[in-house]
Homo-oligomer: A and B are copies of this chain.
Amino acid sequence: MAKETQFVEQIADINADFPQWYTDVVLKTKMVDYGPVKGTMVIRPYGYAVWENIQKELNERFQRKGIQNAYFPLLIPMSYFTKEAEHVEGFAPEVAVVTHAGGEELSEPLAIRPTSETIIGTMMSKWVQSYRDLPLKVNQWCNVMRWEKTTRPFLRTSEFLWHEGHTAHSTEQEAEEFALTMLGVYQEFMENCLAIPVLTGRKTEKERFAGAVATYTMEAMMRDGKSLQSGTSHYLGQNFAKAFNIEFQNNEGELQPAYTTSFGVSTRLIGAIIMTHGDERGLVFPPVIAPIQCVIVPIAARKGGVIEKCEELKTELEKAGIRVTLDVSDNSPGWKFNEWEMKGVPVRIELGPRDIEAGKMLCARRDTLEKTEMPLENPAVIVKELLATMQKDMLESARKRRDGRIVYADDMQGILQGVENGNFVKAGWCGCRACEDKIKEETAATARVFAEGESAEKCAVCGEKAKHVIVYARAY
């Protein structure tokens, strides 16, 4: 029994020390490792498979919106950043700079892209001449670099992987609508693929993207009540179009700057999955993006016919498109249960001589830990149904958990208490920067997103008339 519980003991208690639990889980399940350079990570196969599933799901959605994948250069002349005033202020402090190459000093230092508005804007200005060239919708999957002081695997690293979509439009309305369309695409993806409910809406001026007119965000609540900004979509107005000369001839024959947007999600989402669904036993993957959806554990594997039947079952599930593995290692069944639970595999099938004789299999759900005896007939149908149910249930359970932790506050004390108890706190705001700053200073919470459509009497800080309701939370 000592051996069987060993895995569980290796992970810190999720309720007592959430940060340590996170570190334990990501390292011990071999999702990630630390890279040799400060703040970098190595995404190991078990983590990278999640990223590949995310890419597949998002690519399908992008294609339906007419977005085409492309690839833009990693290195951007430093001078490009200075063309958009807010943008350079926002990113210059985090940039990594190449000064030497090919054995010589460069005449102009080059930035490793922290984001690509500047270089994509430059290219768009070459490609866009007439309104017929619009809308132009491109996306790239790539690495970006932002030199961060404090880092944690997936959540905040100097280098990370992401996608960045960039579009140019002929009218303000079309561009702004498209930024919101992409926010909607993200939300649907978060809920249906990652089983993560998100609050969506506009960011305050203080929190918005450097150079944007409006930033729309998705905020997800982690197990500890903190918020994780999971993706953003920016309406950039004509800011970048003017800075980079993205001009087109409109249908009256006049030259005018285009309206642009950009939007992105990153490997951070892997952290969001872990911190939304994980439990005391380790990872819990939503079936749609699980690297392995089903593991078959043979019981009394040496008995004649057991392994053969397990192989048969595996082949049948595989044929149905289920990502399945069969654990034929020498470890005990109990050890295997713990290991695959820690790795968050949605469905475990236990199959032994008695099950086979009775024409049954035991199916265990990772989220609820329920075990159900099922007939061995049409196993693919059974497993697919179980995966679909689990996918839906995981979203509902995450939503309930989150909704139970959204509270209202009237004053600073209420906000402080709310976030200390691990809640999202809704409170009135007069709209002034000073009040927003003060909340951050005194509660370490930030304005995550406007609670659009809601209203409050007065600002929780200054007591003046409230213009908006804001969702405050501490954040990753």
Chain A residues proximal to chain B, CB less than 8 Å:
33, 35-37, 40-45, 48-49, 51-52, 68-77, 80, 92-103, 109-110, 112, 119, 122-123, 126-127, 138, 142-143, 145, 147-149, 158-159, 161
Whether A100 and B96, one on each chain, are in contact in the complex, defined by CB atoms closer than 8 angstroms, is yes
Which of B41, B45, B96, B123 has a CB less than 8 Å from the CB of A138? B45
Across-interface contacts of A48 in B (CB, < 8 A) = 68-71
Which of B70, B110, B149, B158 has a CB less than 8 Å from the CB of A37? B110
Across-interface contacts of A45 in B (CB, < 8 A) = 68-70, 138
Across-interface contacts of A69 in B (CB, < 8 A) = 45, 48-49, 52
Across-interface contacts of A103 in B (CB, < 8 A) = 92-93
Tell me the minimal C-beta distance from A232 to chain B in angstroms.
22
Given the known interface contacts A73-B41, A75-B40, the answer about A96 and B98 at a Cβ–Cβ threshold of 8 Å is yes
Whether A35 and B72, one on each chain, are in contact in the complex, defined by CB atoms closer than 8 angstroms, is yes
Across-interface contacts of A71 in B (CB, < 8 A) = 42-43, 48, 51, 161
Q: How far is the CA of A72 from the CA of B98 in the complex (A)?
A: 19
Across-interface contacts of A92 in B (CB, < 8 A) = 103
Whether B112 and A102, one on each chain, are in contact in the complex, defined by CB atoms closer than 8 angstroms, is no
Tell me the minimal C-beta distance from A39 to chain B in angstroms.
9
Q: How far is the CA of A122 from the CA of B34 in the complex (A)?
A: 11
Whether B159 and A73, one on each chain, are in contact in the complex, defined by CB atoms closer than 8 angstroms, is yes
Tell me the minimal C-beta distance from A23 to chain B in angstroms.
16
Across-interface contacts of A52 in B (CB, < 8 A) = 69
Given the known interface contacts A93-B103, A99-B97, A99-B100, the answer about A73 and B142 at a Cβ–Cβ threshold of 8 Å is no
How many copies of the polypeptide does the oligomer hold? 2
Whether A123 and B73, one on each chain, are in contact in the complex, defined by CB atoms closer than 8 angstroms, is no
Whether A122 and B75, one on each chain, are in contact in the complex, defined by CB atoms closer than 8 angstroms, is no
Tell me the minimal C-beta distance from A458 to chain B in angstroms.
41
Across-interface contacts of A126 in B (CB, < 8 A) = 33
Given the known interface contacts A44-B70, A110-B37, the answer about A159 and B100 at a Cβ–Cβ threshold of 8 Å is no
Whether B110 and A101, one on each chain, are in contact in the complex, defined by CB atoms closer than 8 angstroms, is no
Whether B73 and A147, one on each chain, are in contact in the complex, defined by CB atoms closer than 8 angstroms, is no
Q: How far is the CA of A95 from the CA of B101 in the complex (A)?
A: 6
Given the known interface contacts A75-B159, A102-B93, the answer about A123 and B42 at a Cβ–Cβ threshold of 8 Å is yes
Chain B residue, CB-CB nearest to A148: B102
Q: How far is the CA of A41 from the CA of B123 in the complex (A)?
A: 11
Tell me the minimal C-beta distance from A250 to chain B in angstroms.
19
Tell me the minimal C-beta distance from A343 to chain B in angstroms.
14
Q: How far is the CA of A1 from the CA of B124 in the complex (A)?
A: 32
Tell me the minimal C-beta distance from A40 to chain B in angstroms.
4
Whether A73 and B161, one on each chain, are in contact in the complex, defined by CB atoms closer than 8 angstroms, is no
Across-interface contacts of A68 in B (CB, < 8 A) = 45, 48-49
Which of B43, B101, B159 has a CB less than 8 Å from the CB of A96? B101
Across-interface contacts of A148 in B (CB, < 8 A) = 102
Whether B96 and A42, one on each chain, are in contact in the complex, defined by CB atoms closer than 8 angstroms, is no
Across-interface contacts of A158 in B (CB, < 8 A) = 75, 101
Across-interface contacts of A42 in B (CB, < 8 A) = 70-73, 123
17 contacts between A and B (CB under 8 A): A33-B126, A36-B77, A36-B80, A37-B110, A48-B71, A49-B68, A52-B69, A74-B145, A75-B96, A92-B103, A95-B101, A96-B102, A96-B110, A97-B101, A100-B109, A102-B147, A102-B149
Chain B residue, CB-CB nearest to A59: B52
Q: How far is the CA of A37 from the CA of B112 in the complex (A)?
A: 12
Q: How far is the CA of A36 from the CA of B72 in the complex (A)?
A: 10
Q: How far is the CA of A100 from the CA of B52 in the complex (A)?
A: 32
Across-interface contacts of A44 in B (CB, < 8 A) = 70
Chain B residue, CB-CB nearest to A102: B147
Whether B122 and A36, one on each chain, are in contact in the complex, defined by CB atoms closer than 8 angstroms, is yes
